[in-house]
């Protein structure tokens, strides 16, 4: 018998274990080993029923993602053949599902006759997030099990269902009690043994909920999909389930294979692996222990501080929120309460859940209260002196081993850490993105003397909050803001040279960006970047181009959405940007002052200027070690700056365009524009 699977007898029940750690994925050799065990159990007259479960951690993984887009060895049994064998088995088969059983793992369970799930388990078909529909019959079997409406929610939405919801939806037959899952699965198999094999799901019929069901489903997903092909492909597969099973299955396979070879799927696979790789910190063993964190202090009760507090409360931490000014503290607490009240009103949270979160919040005006915190996140305004004073106090009042983190966006974390004296190894950066309780990206800024376990703990806290954490080195703006500033710079130059804010924004949203650069600037507030420019004006090279237009807008009190004027006009109660001729007139005026002749600019130039500048700067920070790897930059921009996941992030996209083509264009722009010197890393990538 293969070492990829094993069969144990428990009386008249056969238990087949999948043995392919760590997640029991269906790599080459695994389906064949399982089919052999299944054949053995079926041929044994002393066996009445079968339990299928995962070995080691009990997981049942699906298709090996590494094999997507690659040829399967000829003659080797496949995942599809395994599911067909389960479907055709004449003895009842119970799938015992532990933890998360997703994708092909759940498709295996759908090939079985019964499904038992651990109370903490989840099931689902999230393949849409990889740019593909489920490819092993899930789009055909699930509608036959739970109906088309529920199947569409699971397959097109791509979100896993926890055990209780899965049971309510009919995705599983029974939820196990706490205790030994295998023991309960064997008892379940004994219960159904005398009944023979249940009707396989493939033999059931599908009912169309209404005549316009698929038209309505496509219309509802047209905007949500944001240019993605996979959600629509999932709907096409679901529609095929109305056909007899063999025909529907064949059509779903055709659609799956078409998607699997697409650029979209390649980009989303890249992001899947990139986000997992980002969790690894160079030079540190990620398996070493982390520090315990149960109470988190947050200093600063403004928009960012209260958002961080909400994120921590949502993750089960007790939070001490500190603000020296009592009125500001009360305003922060009111902001937190308003957030939870809104969730209750929308049915996303119960009053009891709200009360529990608010009950875990302690509001204080004295930094001495941080003595009980295991982690403190400072989120005050960007002033080095103020932050240094806070960290000097934190080093004094917090307990040994408490992690001291700054949420600074630009300031040198090493200089902040110096103020902590002997506690310097406890200091690092945790750069949240606004709104902190919603945005997924979290930059963990690696101070020079930060202890390895402090960094690992910060990463662990980020994961618990549901964030995608990326390690960044120290420079002005770290990874994301430093690169984005270059993207924003070119957008402003293009405006001065003849484009309009709406043209630039449309070109970038047509490319796939969530928002255009000028809409983003208005949303964030033009005054924030203005303050940063004024603070660093003495560092600016007087011989290089500088556009005064954003400063002029700020001098006019146009700070963006908050003042109803920025690069656009905003009407009360409506955040939709309205083009403003006054801004274009100001752009023409600043261009004349700078001796720039305005011209017609194409959308192609807009995309190239903004994104090639971004890629060139990204290569520069790779050279400097600010980012650990190319894929980390992709993770930052897809999770924090609205770069389209279907393009795989700026570095993946540039690789598909061709780094040689990017370099050639960068060299051309360097002949006529400032700031376009090719990065050495870009040159190396182009040469490779």
- Per-residue pLDDT of 606-616, as tens digits, reads 999 999 999 99
Q: Residue 11: left if φ>0, alpha if ψ -120 to 50, beta else—which one? A: left
Helix (H) or strand (E) segment spanning residue 44: none
User: Residue 535: what pLDDT?
Assistant: 84
Q: What are phi and psi of 53, to 5 degrees?
A: -150, 170
What pLDDT score does 69 carry? 63
User: What's the confidence (pLDDT) of residue 510?
Assistant: 95
pLDDT at residue 68, as a whole number:
65
Rg of the chain (C-alpha set): 28
Check residue 137 and give its pLDDT.
96
Residue 197: what pLDDT?
A: 66
Give residues with Cβ within 8 angstroms of 439, minimum separation 6. Answer: 432, 433, 639, 640
Global pTM value: 0.90
Contacts of 49 (CB under 8 A, 6+ apart): 12, 13, 14, 91, 92, 93, 94, 189, 190, 192, 193
Q: How many residues does the chain have?
A: 688
Cα-based torsion angle of the residue sequence 343, 346, 351, 354 in order, rounded to the nearest 10 degrees:
-10
Q: Which two tokens stand for residue 502?
A: 């709406």
Summarize the chain as % helix, strand, coil (round to 5): 50, 10, 35
User: Do 54 and 24 contact (CB within 8 A), yes or no?
Assistant: yes
**Is there a contact between 651 and 614 (Cβ–Cβ < 8 Å)?**
no
Q: Which residues contact 137 (CB under 8 A, 6 or more apart)?
A: 80, 83, 107, 110, 111, 202, 249, 252
Walk me through the domains of the chain, giving residue ranges and CATH numbers: 5-252 (3.90.226.10), 295-472 (3.40.50.720), 480-625+658-687 (1.10.1040.50)
Contact 47, 9 (CB under 8 A): yes
Neighbours of 411 (CB within 10 A): 17
Spell out, as residue ranges, where the chain has pLDDT lower than 50. Answer: 1
**pLDDT on residue 168:** 96
**Chain position carrying tokens 């395994």:** 82
Q: Which residues are catalytic?
A: 107, 127
The H or E element containing residue 226 is: none
* Cβ neighbour number for residue 557 with a 10 Å cutoff: 10
Distance from C-alpha of 244 to C-alpha of 261, rounded to nearest angstrom: 26
């Amino acid at each position: 018998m293969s070492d990829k699977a094993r069969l144990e007898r428990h009386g008249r029940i056969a238990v087949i274990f999948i043995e392919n750690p760590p997640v029991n994925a269906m790599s080459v050799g695994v389906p064949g080993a399982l089919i052999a065990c299944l054949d053995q159990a079926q041929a044994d007259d002393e066996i009445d029923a079968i339990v299928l479960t995962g070995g080691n951690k009990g997981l049942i993984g699906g298709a090996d993602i590494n094999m997507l887009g690659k040829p399967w060895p000829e003659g080797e049994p496949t995942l599809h053949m395994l599911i067909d064998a389960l479907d055709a088995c004449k003895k009842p088969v119970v799938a015992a599902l532990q933890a998360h059983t997703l994708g092909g793992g759940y498709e295996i369970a759908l090939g079985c006759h019964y499904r038992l799930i651990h109370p903490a388990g989840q099931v689902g078909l999230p393949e849409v997030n990889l740019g593909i529909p489920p490819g092993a019959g899930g789009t055909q079997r699930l509608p036959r099990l739970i109906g088309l409406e529920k199947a569409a929610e699971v397959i097109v939405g791509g979100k896993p269902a926890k055990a209780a919801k899965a049971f309510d939806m009919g995705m599983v037959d029974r939820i196990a009690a706490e205790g030994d899952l295998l023991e309960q699965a064997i008892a379940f198999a004994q219960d159904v043994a005398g009944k023979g094999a249940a009707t396989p799901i493939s033999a059931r019929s599908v009912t169309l909920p209404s005549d316009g069901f698929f038209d309505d489903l496509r219309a509802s997903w047209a905007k949500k999909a944001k240019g993605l092909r996979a959600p629509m492909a999932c709907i096409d597969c679901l529609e095929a389930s109305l056909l007899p099973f063999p025909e529907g299955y064949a059509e779903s396979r055709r659609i799956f294979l078409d998607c699997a070879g697409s650029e979209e799927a390649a980009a989303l696979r890249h992001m899947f692996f990139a986000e997992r790789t980002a969790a690894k910190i160079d030079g540190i063993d990620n398996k070493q222990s982390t520090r315990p964190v149960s109470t988190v202090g947050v200093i600063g009760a403004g928009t960012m501080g209260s958002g961080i507090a909400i994120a921590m409360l949502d993750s089960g931490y007790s939070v001490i929120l500190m603000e020296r000014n009592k009125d500001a503290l009360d305003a922060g607490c009111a902001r937190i309460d308003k957030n939870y009240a809104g969730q209750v009103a929308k049915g996303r949270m119960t009053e009891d859940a709200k009360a529990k979160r608010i009950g875990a919040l302690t509001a204080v005006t004295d930094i001495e209260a941080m003595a009980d915190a295991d982690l403190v996140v400072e989120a005050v305004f960007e002033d080095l002196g103020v932050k240094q004073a806070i960290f000097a106090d934190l080093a004094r009042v917090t307990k040994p081993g408490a992690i001291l983190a700054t949420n600074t966006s630009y300031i040198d974390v090493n200089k902040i850490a110096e103020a902590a004296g002997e506690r310097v190894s406890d200091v690092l950066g945790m750069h949240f993105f606004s709104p902190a309780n919603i945005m997924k990206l979290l930059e963990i800024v690696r101070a020079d003397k930060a202890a390895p376990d402090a960094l690992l703990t910060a990463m662990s806290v980020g994961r618990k909050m549901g964030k995608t954490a990326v390690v960044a080195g120290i420079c002005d703006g770290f990874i994301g803001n430093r690169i984005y500033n270059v993207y924003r710079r070119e957008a402003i130059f293009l405006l001065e040279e003849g484009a309009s804010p709406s043209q630039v924004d449309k070109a970038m949203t047509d490319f796939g960006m969530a928002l255009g650069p000028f809409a983003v600037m208005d949303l964030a507030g033009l005054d924030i970047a203005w303050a940063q420019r004024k603070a660093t004006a003495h560092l600016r090279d007087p011989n290089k181009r500088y556009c005064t237009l954003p400063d002029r807008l700020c001098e006019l009190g146009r700070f963006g959405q908050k003042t109803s004027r920025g690069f656009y006009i905003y009407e009360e109660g409506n955040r939709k940007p309205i083009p403003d001729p006054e801004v274009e007139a100001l752009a023409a005026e600043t261009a004349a002052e700078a001796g720039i002749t305005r011209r017609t600019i194409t959308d192609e130039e807009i995309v190239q200027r903004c994104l090639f500048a971004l890629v060139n700067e990204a290569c520069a920070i790779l050279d400097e070690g600010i980012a650990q790897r190319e894929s980390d930059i992709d993770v930052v921009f897809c999770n924090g700056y609205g770069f389209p996941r279907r393009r795989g992030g700026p570095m993946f996209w540039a690789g598909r365009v061709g780094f040689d083509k990017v370099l050639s264009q960068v060299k051309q722009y360097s002949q006529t524009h400032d700031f376009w010197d090719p990065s050495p890393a870009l040159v190396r990538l182009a040469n490779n």
